[in-house]
Amino acid sequence: MPAPAVAALSWFPAEYARAVAATAAATAVAWLMFPLVDAPTLILPYLVGTVAVAARAGRGASVFASLLSVAAFDFFFLPPYFTFGVAEIHHVLTFAVMLGVALVISGLTVRTRRQAQAAEDRERQTVALYAMSRELAQATGAAELAAVASRHIGEGFDVEVEILPSDRTDPERSSVVLPLLGHKGPIGSVRVRPRRRAALASPERRRQLEMFVNQAALALERARLAAEAEDARIRAETERLRNALLTSVSHDLRTPLAAITGAATTMLDAGARLDASVRRELLESIRDEADRLNRLVQNLLEMTRLESGALQLRRDWHPLEEVVGAALGRLAARIGRRQVVVTIPPELPLVPIDDVLVEQVLLNLVENALKYSAEGRPIRILATATDAQVTVEVADAGTGLPQGHEELVFEKFTRAAADGPGAGLGLAICRGIVEAHGGHIWAQNLPEGGAAFLFTLPLADGAPASVPADA
């Protein structure tokens, strides 16, 4: 493997200085041996020095060390001493052999070392590539993937990395632009700016860099395809909901409007001729239908707020009893003489909730219970607590939910009965609010008949400042 010129140049001072130092050391050792042995034996320390240089330096420095050794040997240990002259012709042969042996040994040493190093490099690259793949597999979203890839490539190759959305970029000196190629074509490009000049000098390094970039490209393409599929799914779902909304709202708006218009025109046209009781009934129907319209609009607004993420919880510590009381108070007219049994243990802790929203949940659930169970059947509200949460149950003694509808009822525009009242938003809103509080909501049929809706409200870790007692 030839040493690249740039790399050799950059190593020059240190490596060549080391070659000089090694030759000097060998000369010192030979000097000590000189009185004891004959001249050719003194070649040995020089060979050791050359090997030592080759073990750490590049080919150039090794050759330099070999030549320097021959020169030093001639200068110090062959007569005429302290000259580069050669007294006897067979010494030239000695030089040739010495130089040959030094070159071969140093060459072999350098190569062995390079191979070991290359193997080590490959091993490190494989580990690094594996580490990146693993992290890419765990990452979600294009931004996170790009960040993971940039970090791994940047650290692994000592470069600055910039992932660009387009494969056409302005060329820039001192940087390399590689295309990000997915299975289905280019998805962008990577600009790599080495932090030091040698970082990407070898073709091997470039090939490895390409491997990393390809890996990143495939991961990014995967993320992009997943995002596109998700987009399509959301678009389809939005479309379905929009249709359901239009159908539902147009029906639910028109029905009360028709009733109001009818009752009002009857009053205007024939008001004087009608019985007092008929007039009252017409007026009551106007009021009730307007109420219904109001609830529908309220629900639509609430749903929009929940879905747009504009909902902000204003939490504080509340006694559940008070929130239940507020909901029942607002429903007083519709509850009428129906029996509502509330069981809230006095030791129930304060719950960290947005009272206005949780009141809405209770209101919707009780309203549902009133709607789907017969006059004269009681409605029960029950609260229990563990250390972690409070569970609230609203149960009716009606006909219960159709088999398998326990989950479905929480979907938007779903009603227990196809011709039931309301737009089917109430329970979807309940779920949105309860989940915003970190709780769960679910429905179940009761063994004794009727349906129960339960929801949990987690108790936060903190407790409210204790309330001062008084006598």
Partner 1 sequence: MPEPVVVLIEDEPQIRRFLRATLTGEGYRLFEAPTAGAGVIEIGSRQPDAVVLDLVLPDMDGLEVIRRVRQWSGVPIIVLSARGQERDKVCALDAGADDYVSKPFSSGELLARLRVALRHAAGASQPENAVFKLGGLHVDLLRRNVMLDGREVRLTPTEYKLLTTLIRYAGRVVTHQQLLREVWGPNHDSMAHYVRVYMGHLRHKIEAEPARPRYLLTEPGVGYRLADG
Whichever of 220 and 327 has its CB closer to partner 1, that residue is: 327
Q: What angle do CA 239, 242, 243 make, to 5 degrees?
A: 90
Cβ atoms of 176 and 210 within 8 Å: the answer is no
Rounded to a whole number of angstroms, the minimum distance from the CB of residue 466 to partner 1 is 10
Q: Which residues bind partner 1 (CB under 8 A)?
A: 287, 290, 294, 298, 301-302, 314, 316-319, 321-326, 328-329, 340, 342, 344, 346, 350, 355-356, 359, 381, 464-465, 467-468, 470-471
Whichever of 2 and 346 has its CB closer to partner 1, that residue is: 346
Q: The tokens 């191979």 sit on which residue?
A: 115
Whichever of 115 and 339 has its CB closer to partner 1, that residue is: 339
For the chain, count helices (H), then strands (E).
Answer: 11, 10
Tokens in use for 334? 């519709």
Rounded to a whole number of angstroms, the minimum distance from the CB of residue 257 to partner 1 is 15
CA dihedral 411, 415, 421, 423 (to 10 degrees): 30
Tokens in use for 411? 């979907």
Whichever of 362 and 397 has its CB closer to partner 1, that residue is: 362
Rounded to a whole number of angstroms, the minimum distance from the CB of residue 337 to partner 1 is 13
Distances (CA, A) of 4 to 107, 120, 198: 16, 19, 10
Rounded to a whole number of angstroms, the minimum distance from the CB of residue 332 to partner 1 is 8
Tokens in use for 94? 């000695």
Neighbour-count burial of 42, counting CB atoms closer than 10 A to its CB (0-12 exposed, 13-18 middle, 19+ buried):
buried
Whichever of 150 and 299 has its CB closer to partner 1, that residue is: 299
Whichever of 186 and 325 has its CB closer to partner 1, that residue is: 325
Tokens in use for 221? 């393409």
Rounded to a whole number of angstroms, the minimum distance from the CB of residue 319 to partner 1 is 5
Whichever of 107 and 325 has its CB closer to partner 1, that residue is: 325
Rounded to a whole number of angstroms, the minimum distance from the CB of residue 357 to partner 1 is 9
The CA distance from 255 to 422, in Å, is: 11
Cβ atoms of 363 and 326 within 8 Å: the answer is no
Neighbour-count burial of 357, counting CB atoms closer than 10 A to its CB (0-12 exposed, 13-18 middle, 19+ buried):
buried
Tokens in use for 277? 């009781």
Q: The tokens 């009781």 sit on which residue?
A: 277
φ/ψ (deg, to 5) at 56: -120, -25
Whichever of 80 and 464 has its CB closer to partner 1, that residue is: 464
- Among 110, 218, 207, smallest CA distance to 157 is for 207
- Among 302, 298, 245, 241, smallest CA distance to 436 is for 302
Rounded to a whole number of angstroms, the minimum distance from the CB of residue 244 to partner 1 is 24
Whichever of 160 and 321 has its CB closer to partner 1, that residue is: 321
Rounded to a whole number of angstroms, the minimum distance from the CB of residue 380 to partner 1 is 12
DSSP for residue 465: P
Rounded to a whole number of angstroms, the minimum distance from the CB of residue 447 to partner 1 is 26
